[in-house]
Structure 1
Amino acid sequence: MTTTPTVDVHAHVLLPEVEALVAGLPGLAEAKALDARRNGPAALAVSGPMVRERIPRLTDVSVRLAAMDAQGVDVQLVSPSPSHYHHWTGEGTSEKVYRLANEATAAHCSTAPDRLKGLGLAPLHHPGQAVEALRHALDQGLLGVEISSHAPGRELSDPAYEPFWTCAEEAGAIVFLHPFGCTLDERLDQWYLSNTVGQPTENAVALSHLIFSGVLDRHPGLKVIAAHGGGYLPTHIGRSDHAWSARSDAGADCAHPPSSYLRRLYFDSLVHDPHVLRELVRAAGADRVLLGSDYPFDMGTEDPVGALRAARLPEPDFHAVRGGNAAALLFEE
């Protein structure tokens, strides 16, 4: 059991090529202004230096591998920084962004292919491009794509994404659900609430759209990994179950109680509380939780295995989350 590799499914790469591509384009300044309003000046004053200090860890493979060794991590599933979504871009630029992101991530991982597996990007703001973006990512040797919790004017329940879900299911591709920004906007612009409250909220809303709309009924083979332990949803799923059973509108479009769908999803372990992690394992099942660190950002953990050990799971469950589940997902034939 202990010979199973330790696999971290939540780790990021920064792609300067993508930022160079969009630099100076119409729409970028407005997008940055929105991001500034959502986060607030105090958060930006901390986040800028934090990211700059971590650029070697985000871009240099040798630094990444040394950090993995120090953490006891054998394999990382590397996804682009969510700052690369650029949901403001037109179709032409959007295609250039996802192609460059896919190719650059694949190149980064190719320098240590036994230890680094990668995900590309799918542009939710142009649903018609999502399928070709996923296929392009797979053509680069990546295992799937990272997506946000929504795009402007569209939720994950939008019928326009049906071809994408179909393609991901048929290809056996991984879809990593990782929010960027929160539509609560200036309500969260102090004390870094934009992240501490915003990210778990976005996760819960996005997953609820997948569940209540019937996406997971129509595509039972989807391999969706939710970052940040799925946010607030797994620990508050009883309220969803109650609504599903008590109200005709809540239960109109999904066939089963919402809690049952947790066992069709995957969740990373990054919840920052051993008691919450134990509850996540109870709610979703020990076979649906995967080790995650959010490497190398400050809202992650420097010791993902230690954080997992603190939950005091039964030893078989500990090893399943540490790497067994992810190894089966990433390396299955």
Structure 2
Amino acid sequence: MSTAPTVDVHAHVLLPEVEALVAGLPGLAEAKALDARRNGPAALAVSGSMVRERVPELTDPAVRLAAMDAQGVDVQLVSPSPSHYHYWADEETAEQVYRLANEATAAHCSAAPDRLRGLGLVPLQHPGHTVRALDHALDQGLLGVELSSHAPGRELSDPAYAPLWTRAEETGALVFLHPFGCTLDERLDRWYLSNTVGQPVENAVALSHLIFSGVLDRHPGLRLIAAHGGGYLPTHIGRSDHAWSARSDAGAGCAHPPSSYLKRLYFDSLVHDPHVLRELVRTAGADRVLLGSDFPFDMGTEDPVGALRASGLADADFHAVRGGNAAALLRKN
């Protein structure tokens, strides 16, 4: 695996076309107001400035490729900025959003198809449209889809999503779980807790729904990548195992201890702590962790390979996470 390319599975593209499409539509103002309450004014001010400064990296393939060269990254798996989910949209608008997002992401990646691979979007708020959206993404040459930790009124354990999981299994599509927003709302509206605490919480909740509900039992071939190292779940999985064995309500939905399902999932390496990364590798397995940077946002890392090297993994595990695992995963498409 030491000869495998270096593959970053967590990188984003900004799609002005999508934002132009939804501008002024009913529901957008309410969604923005909710986002403002959840994040707080200080976080919004900093985030707005940060994104504006990084528009070239987010939109221009040439700038992206130059940054990849500087990082020593050969291939990026590019997903739309989660701000493009727009789960407030009605059915007609939602279809326009995912089609435009899929097509625009594919066009961005077409600038360097040997180095940029893409993911599309699905409208989780309309489960009946998710299979069609996944098929559309695959038709554009994308490798799968990105989705959040929940939609309004629906968790990922909702039976309405069973056709999506089935279709993703059938096609070998990748599913990238990347939360946007946290339902703890104003409790996290200072000090950027909405992200530093909220994102790991949302990852852990969403993965727990998939595990405890039996979704992963029913769909063992699902190829799901969890952003941010899966949040709090992998490092606190012992508590889940204890509940599964000690309580009838916790153990009723899935066939095996929750920790066993970590080895069926994939996780990016973006945990910001070498000790946590080592624990992630221990609990999930070195073959289930993939390099991730969150390019080019400020909550990512500008040196993903260096961050991985700092964890002190064995040489074989280092190269597996650096690119060997992802290269094999991407080749299956």
TM-score, scaled to structure 1: 1.00
TM alignment of 1:3-42, pairs within 5 A: 3-42=3-42
Aligned to 2:156: 156
TM alignment of 1:1-333, pairs within 5 A: 1-332=1-332
For residues 155 and 28 of structure 2, the distance between their equivalents in structure 1, rounded to whole angstroms, comes to: 22
- Please list the CA deviations of residues 311-332 of structure 1 after superposition, one character each: whole Å capped at 9, or x if unmatched: 0000000000000000000012
Counterpart residue identity of residue 285, structure 2: G
Following TM superposition, the consecutive aligned residue runs of length 4 or more in structure 1 with deviations greater than 3 angstroms are none
Counterpart residue identity of residue 116, structure 2: L
Counterpart residue identity of residue 30, structure 1: E
For residues 20 and 45 of structure 2, the distance between their equivalents in structure 1, rounded to whole angstroms, comes to: 22
Deviation, 1:206, is 0.1
- Partner secondary structure for residue 88 of structure 1: coil
Counterpart residue identity of residue 11, structure 1: A
For residues 330 and 119 of structure 2, the distance between their equivalents in structure 1, rounded to whole angstroms, comes to: 11
- Partner secondary structure for residue 38 of structure 1: helix
- Partner secondary structure for residue 117 of structure 1: strand
For residues 122 and 214 of structure 1, the distance between their equivalents in structure 2, rounded to whole angstroms, comes to: 22
For residues 160 and 45 of structure 2, the distance between their equivalents in structure 1, rounded to whole angstroms, comes to: 38
For residues 221 and 87 of structure 2, the distance between their equivalents in structure 1, rounded to whole angstroms, comes to: 27
For residues 196 and 254 of structure 2, the distance between their equivalents in structure 1, rounded to whole angstroms, comes to: 30
Q: CA RMSD in A?
A: 0.5
For residues 64 and 73 of structure 2, the distance between their equivalents in structure 1, rounded to whole angstroms, comes to: 11
Unaligned runs of 5+ in 2: none
Contact persistence 2:2–2:316 (CA under 8 A): no
Deviation, 1:112, is 0.2
Deviation, 1:3, is 1.6
Deviation, 1:301, is 0.1
For residues 18 and 332 of structure 1, the distance between their equivalents in structure 2, rounded to whole angstroms, comes to: 30
Deviation, 1:45, is 1.1
Counterpart residue identity of residue 70, structure 1: A
Deviation, 1:9, is 0.1
Unaligned runs of 5+ in 1: none
For residues 3 and 172 of structure 2, the distance between their equivalents in structure 1, rounded to whole angstroms, comes to: 26
Counterpart residue identity of residue 29, structure 2: A
For residues 111 and 48 of structure 1, the distance between their equivalents in structure 2, rounded to whole angstroms, comes to: 27
For residues 259 and 107 of structure 1, the distance between their equivalents in structure 2, rounded to whole angstroms, comes to: 39
For residues 248 and 83 of structure 1, the distance between their equivalents in structure 2, rounded to whole angstroms, comes to: 39
Number of aligned positions between the proteins: 333
For residues 3 and 204 of structure 1, the distance between their equivalents in structure 2, rounded to whole angstroms, comes to: 33
- Partner secondary structure for residue 79 of structure 1: strand
Counterpart residue identity of residue 199, structure 1: Q
- Partner secondary structure for residue 137 of structure 2: helix
